[in-house]
Amino acid sequence: MASSNSSAIRRTGPMMVIEQMRRAVVIAVVATLAGIAHADTLPIVGVLAPGENGPVLHGLPGWRSNGEPMRYLDEHGRAQCCVHIAPMPLVGASTLMRDGQAGGDLYVVEFSDALVTRENRKPLLGPVLNAGVTTERRSSAGATLRQGDHRSRLSRCTTSEGVRFTLKDEGTSVVNQLYLPLGYDVTPSCR
Amino acid sequence: MPLSGAQWVALYPTSTSVSDLELDFRTSLNNFLAALTAAGASYTIAATLRPPERAYLMHWSYRVARENYDPRQVPAMTGVNIDWVHKRPNGSYDETASRSAANAMTTSYGTVYRPSLTSRHTEGRAVDMNLSWSGTLRIRNAQGQEVSIGSTPRSGANTDLHDVGASYGVVKLVSDPPHWSDDGH
């Protein structure tokens, strides 16, 4: 049962390594036992990140692209239009994990690496909004998202080598977090 | 000296080999991985050594492309013969071409935040890996004692496993799920 592919992937393309890691550790931290974060219940459907051949979407479970253009939040918390995400089947699995730091339960979410196209070639890392979600009170630290009667505060910060998105529902206080490894080291901004 | 540009991105790749790590941490990690394997756990290593040369190229290309740093002021790094300053045919400084080349590098690297010049990875003292197992993990710590881990998650986020890793000198950085190092940074 024990296995390792470390020797087999001794050196690979830099972006490939990053993508392999992201596949495994894009996670959602759920501070209650309400259930696994699901695209139907959240104002975001996943996170865009640079990929080997352009941006890719790391999607939450349950979300399927219908090919419609999707808005995303830029680094200033502004909703930008748009990315076109190719309809692709979801792959991956969910795994329950314990988060000693946050005191809640962690879930490895299912992911989908759906190809994304857009005109701007600048590397992009940001959440993609569910249809009908509007933004308020924007700043570089995040934005308030309104989805029907629900409001959530979405913020982002950097860890030593990743980005953490925190989504707090203002009504239920449920906190979801998404972590995305960058594949390089940065100065942490998370407190 | 070769000019800056996207062709540099393929050089100095991140390693996934334990053998590229600094000796002490390599030994610690190999012992921990052997214990994991003996206990029936699986692991996949995504990163070990991030060459300092790669960090240098990522950092300064980002500064020039995204932070308006003057490419003529970029410090040299021994062993990396890159020329950040592009020139016109008449020999004068070409700022547009210099920044465009740096921008091509950040795009190819996929850099979104300013990369650090140094880290435990550039020092060969860190590893990014994913761990998993089924059922209860019965693993020996560095003192040879068997530790039964029935708690969840069955992954590198398990705090009981963090204690076992620490006994080998492989310390978890909780804020970054894949990351372990010799001192938890």
pLDDT at B90: 97
> Residue A154: which domain range?
14-181
Q: Is residue A188 part of a domain?
A: no
Q: Classify residue A186: in a domain, yes or no.
A: no
For residue B149, name the pLDDT band (cuts at 50, 70, 90). Answer: very high
Least confident interval from A92-101, B31-40, B47-56, B95-104: A92-101
In a domain, A190, yes or no: no
- pLDDT tens, A125-182? 888 898 889 888 777 678 899 988 889 999 999 999 998 888 888 887 777 788 888 9
- Interface size between A and B, measured as CB pairs under 8 A: 165
- pLDDT at site B72: 98
Angle between helices B23-38 and B159-168 (to 10 degrees): 130
Q: Does B13 sit within 8 Å of A27, measured CB to CB?
A: no
CA atoms of B96 and B90, how far apart (whole Å): 15
- Nearest by CB to residue B157, choosing from A3, A98, A158, is A98
pLDDT bin (cut points 50, 70, 90) of residue B146 is very high
The ipTM, to two decimals, is 0.93
Q: Please state, for a pLDDT cut of 90, what percent of chain A lies above it.
A: 10
Which pair of tokens denotes residue A126?
Answer: 């940001």
Q: Which residues are CB-contacts of A8 (< 8 A; sequence separation ≥ 6)?
A: none
Phi and psi torsions of A181, nearest 5°: -70, 140
Kindly state whether residue A1 falls inside one of the protein's structural domains: no
Residues from chain B that touch A8, judged by Cβ atoms under 8 A, are none
∠ CA A191-A56-A64, nearest 5°, is 100
Does the pTM surpass 0.90? The reply is no
Chain A residue with CA closest to B156: the answer is: A97
Structural domain includes residue A69: yes
Decide if A163 and B42 are in contact by the 8 Å CB cutoff. Answer: no
**CA–CA separation, A4 vs B152, rounded Å?**
21
Report the candidate in B179, B175, B65, B16 with the shortest Cα–Cα distance to residue A166: B175
∠ Cα B58 B157 B33 (to 5°): 80
Residue B33 pLDDT: 98
Position B39 pLDDT exceeds 90 = yes
Report the domain count for chain A: 1
Residue A8 has pLDDT above 50, yes or no: no
The C-alpha atoms of residue A15 and residue A161 are separated, in whole angstroms, by 14
Specify the pLDDT at position A114: 58
Residue A187 lies in a domain: no
Q: Chain A: nearest CA to B110, how far in angstroms?
A: 5
For A60-78, the pLDDT digits (tens) are: 766 777 778 888 888 778 8
Q: How many CB atoms lie within 10 A of CB B73?
A: 11
Q: Is residue A26 part of a domain?
A: yes
Whether residue B16 and residue A121 make contact (CB cut-off 8 A), yes or no, is: no
CA distance linking residue B44 with residue A17, whole number of Å: 11
Q: Do B110 and A190 touch (CB under 8 A)?
A: no
Q: Is residue A4 part of a domain?
A: no
pLDDT score, position B65 = 97
Residue to mutate among B43, B128, B159, with most A CBs inside 10 A, is B128
At residue B62 the predicted structure's pLDDT band, cuts being 50, 70 and 90, is very high
In chain A, which residues have their Cβ closer than 8 Å to the Cβ of B59? none
Average per-residue pLDDT for chain A: 68
- Residue A2 pLDDT exceeds 50: no
| Complete DSSP assignment for A22-84 | HHHH-EEEESSSS----GGGSSEEEEEEEETTEEEEEEPTT----S-EEEEE-TTS-EEEEEE
